Amino acid sequence: MLRPSNTDTIRVGDKKFAISVPASRIQKEVERVAAEISRDYSGREPLFLVVLNGAFVFAADLLRAVTLESQVSFVKLSSYNGADSEGKVRQLIGLGEDVRGRELIVVEDIVDTGLTMTRLLETLKAHEPASVDICTLLLKPGKLQTDLKIRYRAMEIPDDFVVGYGLDYDGRGRNLRDIYSIINE
């Protein structure tokens, strides 16, 4: 991966990307969402459930900006395992019994079609939390296929594939400070 110096385009693996959301804007929007959560959950103690890997950077900034007494736990969805892309048999790893009766805030990097989040919510609900809210860094409204209720979103973006600020392309690019969109060549 080539880091930008005086250019707004970079190469990650075999693809070219152009900067689409600079770090300064990301920080502003993350702080706004943190303030909304702090206000809405005032006096309560939610459990933030961070979906790895992509949400780790967002969660680190979000949680430090939230002013509530809160707890954090990390979950991961297994890779597709013996299922085709439609079947999507993905296991939720790392979920403890601690979600029962808790007010959960699921922290995700990006909601695209919404299918991953819909399945995640189904699994979570089987563990009987008191409530579940979704907080996503990015949402692609043009791609959304479900009627998910997404209470918190930092930013809406066009349908293009993005990397940076936790999001990867083929395992790379997660440590970029800005968010970059793919350039289709």
Assess 62 for contact with ligand 5GP (CB under 6 A): no
Assess 107 for contact with ligand 5GP (CB under 6 A): no
Which segment (6-14, 24-32, 94-102, 164-172) binds ligand 5GP by CB under 6 A? 164-172
Assess 116 for contact with ligand 5GP (CB under 6 A): yes
Assess 161 for contact with ligand 5GP (CB under 6 A): yes
Applying CB under 6 A, among 12, 30, 66, 163 the residue interacting with ligand 5GP is 163
Q: Which helix (H) or strand (E) holds 59?
A: helix 56-65
> What type of residue sits at position 33?
V
How many angstroms from the chain centroid is the CA of residue 80? Answer: 18
Assess 75 for contact with ligand 5GP (CB under 6 A): no
Tokens of 95: 């979920």
Assess 109 for contact with ligand 5GP (CB under 6 A): yes
**Interaction pattern, residues 31-60, with ligand 5GP; x per rule: CB under 6 A:** -----------------------x------
Applying CB under 6 A, among 47, 49, 167, 179 the residue interacting with ligand 5GP is 167
Which segment (6-14, 30-38, 66-74, 162-170) binds ligand 5GP by CB under 6 A? 162-170
Query: Is 160 considered catalytic here?
Result: no
Q: Least distance to ligand 5GP from the beta carbon of 112, Å?
A: 3
Query: Are 90 and 119 in contact, with CB atoms under 8 Å apart?
Result: yes
Comparing CA positions, the residue from 172, 16, 26 lying closest to residue 8 is 16
Query: Are 163 and 179 in contact, with CB atoms under 8 Å apart?
Result: yes
Q: Which helix (H) or strand (E) holds 23?
A: helix 23-40
Burial of 31 (0-12, 13-18, 19+ CB in 10 A): middle
Looking at the DSSP bridge assignments, the partners of residue 179 are 21
- DSSP 8-state assignment for residue 97: G
Assess 150 for contact with ligand 5GP (CB under 6 A): no
d(CA 139, CA 159): 9
Assess 114 for contact with ligand 5GP (CB under 6 A): yes
The catalytic site residues sit at 112
**Given the rule CB under 6 A, which residues bind ligand 5GP?**
54, 109-117, 161-163, 167-169
